[in-house]
Amino acid sequence: MATPPPGLRERKKQATREALREAALRLAVERGPDQVRVEEIAEAAGVSPRTYNNYFASREQAIVAAITADREARIAAAVTARPATTRLADAVTEAVVEQYTDTGEQARETLLLITAKSALRDAFLDAAAGIEPPLTTVIAERLGDTDPCTARVLAASVAAAVRIALENWLQPSGTTTDARSVGTSGLVVPSGSLPGLLRAALAPLAPAFDAAESPQQP
């Protein structure tokens, strides 16, 4: 639509980006998250270490980006895909749950890798904040002429709620670093399934969405 040839320059940038993501994830899975240096990732992707930092601010970002991929854009698309008749709160909630539950097949195993290292955990949680900008756009479209600040606040609140849900999810209740016991069924984890946690975290925001949709001044 915008650019049938998106520009050769841009394509190479995306190719480099994906090469870095892929290399980072592969090396992290192969030899463990801590046994990977930026220099090696850059070498595997065929660029210089300096270029690596032009794409990712930290070593962990590339790894989580590989499994997160472009989840932000997918969530935004999932919201617009829902019929305009549904409550905005429901549309957003379902879109978020949908895109976070079917994380794919291989991603499931790599997620276990992430939960182990706290540095990766943090990067993973920070990555969740990336849904805010696209969410702002789609929410603003749905709200129409309302103050654009409202859309931003709602989007940011959703991002915060998602983060909280994820925190509760990958919190094995163990203060110690290593708790790899993938318990059978009766885990001590007070948390439930990820979809459930996401819905629980997003539920308190529903009234705010409803109020924003129906312009009434109390």
Partner DNA sequence: CAGAAAAGATGCGTGTAAGCAATTTTTCGA
Partner DNA sequence: TCGAAAAATTGCTTACACGCATCTTTTCTG
- Rg of the chain over Cα atoms, rounded to whole angstroms, equals 19
Q: Phi/psi zone of residue 214: left (φ > 0), alpha (ψ -120 to 50 degrees), beta?
A: beta
Spatial distance between the Cα atoms of 2 and 115, rounded to a whole number of angstroms: 39
What number of chain residues touch a copy of itself (CB under 8 A)?
A: 34
Counting contacts by CB under 7 A, is residue 26 touching DNA? no
Residue list 132-151, contact with a copy of itself (CB under 8 A): 145, 147-150
Q: Residues 21, 59, 117, 121: which binds DNA (CB under 7 A)? A: 59
Spatial distance between the Cα atoms of 68 and 32, rounded to a whole number of angstroms: 18
Copy the structure tokens of residue 76: 């935004």
Counting contacts by CB under 8 A, is residue 121 touching a copy of itself? no
Distances (CA, A) of 53 to 59, 60, 156: 9, 11, 27
Q: Residues 2, 4, 50, 218: which binds DNA (CB under 7 A)? A: 50
Interacting residue ranges for DNA, rule: CB under 7 A: 7-10, 12-13, 16, 37-39, 46-51, 53-55, 57-59
Interacting residue ranges for a copy of itself, rule: CB under 8 A: 145, 147-150, 152-154, 156-157, 159-161, 163-164, 168, 183-185, 187-189, 200-208, 210-212
